[in-house]
């Protein structure tokens, strides 16, 4: 076997191990999504997928914010001097209050902190997803 073939074989073995670990974790995460949908409603939760890091969930789940939570988000984003930093802070706060998975307990918080280390922009994506659940969307697929 040539050196190139050996490297390709090792790369394929690495990818296979990674895929198995990803699939095992993703199955657990999808179970959490199913539970969140049952608790909050199918259209009231959003899964935010993140790049796979061994030992960490493959996604986070946010719920639709309450009227008060969304108003606070809007107020932070719409002040006269609101800029990018304020919008990021608002999204991060929205993520904190609407996170459903990982659970909002000591273990879930520790896992979530590790996820944020691995994916530093995670809270912004979560906050945007949660805000989107509270916003109207264009009706593109309506059937008359």
pLDDT digits (tens, 9 = 90+) for 129-140: 999 999 866 555
Given a contact cutoff of 8 angstroms between Cβ atoms, the answer to whether 61 and 26 are in contact is no
3-state secondary structure of 58: coil
The verdict on residue 143 lying in a domain is: no
Number of domains within the chain: 1
The verdict on residue 33 lying in a domain is: yes
Nearest CA to 94 among 134, 36, 136, 52? 134
Whole-structure pTM value = 0.85
Burial 25-62 (b: 16+ CB within 10 A, else e): beeebeebbeebbeebeeebbbbbebebbeebbbbbbb
Tens of pLDDT, residue by residue over 82-129, are: 668 888 899 999 999 999 999 999 999 999 999 999 999 999 999 999
3-state secondary structure of 46: strand
Token pair 């930093």 in the structure block, residue = 85
The verdict on residue 37 lying in a domain is: yes
The verdict on residue 140 lying in a domain is: no
The verdict on residue 48 lying in a domain is: yes
For position 122, which CATH number holds? 3.30.2220.10
Whole-angstrom distance, CA of residue 126 vs CA of residue 111: 15
The verdict on residue 13 lying in a domain is: yes
The verdict on residue 141 lying in a domain is: no
Whole-angstrom distance, CA of residue 25 vs CA of residue 71: 35
The verdict on residue 139 lying in a domain is: no
The whole domain housing 43 covers: 3-133
């Amino acid at each position: 076997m040539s050196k190139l073939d050996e490297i390709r074989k090792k790369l394929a073995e690495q990818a296979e191990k990674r895929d198995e670990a990803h699939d095992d974790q993703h199955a657990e995460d999808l179970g959490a999504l199913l539970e969140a949908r049952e608790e909050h409603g199918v259209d009231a939760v959003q899964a935010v997928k993140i790049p796979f890091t061994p030992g960490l969930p493959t996604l986070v789940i946010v719920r639709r914010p309450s009227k008060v939570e969304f108003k606070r988000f809007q107020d932070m984003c719409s002040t006269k001097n609101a800029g990018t930093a304020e919008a990021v802070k608002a999204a991060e706060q929205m993520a904190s209050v609407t996170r459903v998975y990982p659970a909002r307990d000591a273990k879930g918080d520790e896992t979530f902190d590790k996820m944020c280390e691995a994916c530093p922009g995670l809270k912004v994506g979560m906050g945007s997803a949660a805000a989107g659940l509270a916003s109207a969307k264009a009706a593109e697929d309506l059937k008359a």
